[in-house]
């Protein structure tokens, strides 16, 4: 390193790089089992392979928004109130939107292949999932509105918990409503999955791989959010210093 040069802080560490390698290995494993070793379905043929992306995406959407709801509750509880909870809640929601969007795209593609059309209002699972996506788009948009950090965190926490209420509705939609979506084949009430063993294992591989991707994304997004918070706090300090006519370095001392 030459004199006078500075290094920019990154979001990667040795631990996160190892996590990234594991995530890539999991995705490679999913490709091998889901697209090479797993058999085609007797009825749906090779289109059933969409399941190995669709199902893990849906479950990771549940997990992501569940983390958002949990962190929101922890922020609202006075004994554990911290902007760190709010930050993780927001980061997890953004990643959840990614997985929800992937679940919607694969679900609509699957519908096109099996039913001949992309969208059907008679598919309660599809409609409630789209509603879930829109609710958390609104949640993320709410977080972008200018406000004091604690005010923004409190209203975001309430919105995140309310939006999460749609998750059990999505999951139970095939049981509670008349719908075109097929009934559960893995998480059945009789605990007897109606699916080929290799297919079931491939779905499990997909869930593990996508979970590793989620954790990797959450770690990096949270670190970016920490840097953004530091920049926001520094900008506020500079603005206050300029208003008082003080040097930036002494603003905190004089306040």
Instruction: For 42-68, write each residue's pLDDT tens digit.
Output: 767 777 788 899 999 999 999 999 999
What tens digit of pLDDT does each residue of 158-188 get? 999 999 999 999 988 777 766 655 555 655 5
pLDDT, position 13: 81
**DSSP percent split of the chain into helix, strand, coil, nearest 5:** 75, 0, 25
Strand partners of residue 45: 41
pTM score of the predicted model:
0.82
Any residues with CB less than 8 A from the CB of 84 and at least 6 apart, and which?
A: none
CA distances from 144 to 19, 61, 149, 150, 158 (A): 30, 21, 11, 13, 15
- Residue range 213-224, pLDDT digits in tens: 999 999 999 998
Q: Which residue has the tokens 């289109």?
A: 47
Q: Which tokens go with 78?
A: 């006075």
Opening angle at CA 41, ends 35 and 42, nearest 5: 150
């Amino acid at each position: 390193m030459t004199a006078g040069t500075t290094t920019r802080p990154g979001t990667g560490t040795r631990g996160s790089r190892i996590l990234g390698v594991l995530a890539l290995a999991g995705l490679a494993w999913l490709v091998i089992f889901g697209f090479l070793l797993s058999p085609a379905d007797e009825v749906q043929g090779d289109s059933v392979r969409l399941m190995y992306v669709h199902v893990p995406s849906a479950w990771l959407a549940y997990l992501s928004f569940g983390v958002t709801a949990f962190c929101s509750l922890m922020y609202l509880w006075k004994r554990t109130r911290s902007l760190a909870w709010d930050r993780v809640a927001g980061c997890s929601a953004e990643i959840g939107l990614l997985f929800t969007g992937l679940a919607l795209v694969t679900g609509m593609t699957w519908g096109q292949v099996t039913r001949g059309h992309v969208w059907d209002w008679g598919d309660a699972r599809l409609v409630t999932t789209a509603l879930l996506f829109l609710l958390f788009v609104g949640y993320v948009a709410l977080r972008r509105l200018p406000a004091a950090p604690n005010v923004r965190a409190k209203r975001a926490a309430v919105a995140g918990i309310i939006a999460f209420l749609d998750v059990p509705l999505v999951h139970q939609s095939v049981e509670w409503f008349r719908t075109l979506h097929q009934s559960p084949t893995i998480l059945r009430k009789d605990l007897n999955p109606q699916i080929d063993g290799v297919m079931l294992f491939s779905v499990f591989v997909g869930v593990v791989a996508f979970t590793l991707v989620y954790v990797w994304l959450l770690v990096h997004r949270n670190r970016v959010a920490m840097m953004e918070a530091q920049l926001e706090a520094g900008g506020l300090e500079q603005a206050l210093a300029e208003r008082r006519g003080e040097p930036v370095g002494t603003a905190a001392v004089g306040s």
